[in-house]
Amino acid sequence: MTPRAITIRLAEPRDAQAIAMMSRDFIEAGLGWKYDAARVLRAIRDRETLAVVACEGAKGAAAGGRGAITGFAIMEFGDERAHLVLLAVRPSHRRLGIGQRLLEWLVESARVAGMASIHLELRSNNDAARRFYRAMSFYETVLVPGYYRSGEGRKEGALRMLRVLRAPGPVPYTWRPPRTEDT
């Protein structure tokens, strides 16, 4: 499988179950399941949230995106800050650039929306994710002990990371009306 055979598109309501299962299996394993299909569906429908999926095959995407979902990402937008809620790629499809393409889509969307920064949390012992986000220009901000809690009461630390897109404050006004010959 090559990165060219993967299409990135907006998530649709029919993708909610597949995204939820991937979240359960690849992100939330051992923590309890928060992002079930109903919660993912709410995120897909939320105007302040962007959900994207990576699908196998350009033909599948052109024919309504029916290719198998190989990865997904969900990001919430605030006034100036975006929060990367979830990002996962199937283990069989990792290291093919899919996560990078998903994150690049979200970063560009955040820029266009005028966000100053993107924030995320990950399990503090997830070294692969830590390396990935560092390579994608995120830096570590703080370690939060006991952030994640399993159904059995087990606690895990979280590492918060940040990527700055612009200086905080009002979005600079850059548009100017076209000059006319009279002015």
Model confidence over 80-107: pLDDT tens digits? Answer: 999 999 999 999 888 888 999 999 999 9
pLDDT score recorded for residue 8:
93
CA separation for the pair 11, 19 (Å, rounded):
9
Q: Which of 15-24, 109-118, 161-170 has the lowest mean pLDDT?
A: 161-170
Assigned fold of 3-119: Aminopeptidase (3.40.630)
Cβ neighbors of 107 (< 8 A, separation 6 or more) are 118, 136, 163, 165
pLDDT score recorded for residue 102:
96
pLDDT score recorded for residue 27:
87
Cβ neighbors of 152 (< 8 A, separation 6 or more) are none
Longest dimension (CA), the chain: 74
Give the H or E element holding residue 4. none
Task: Give the up-direction half-sphere exposure of residue 130: CA atoms within 13 A in the CB hemisphere.
Answer: 12
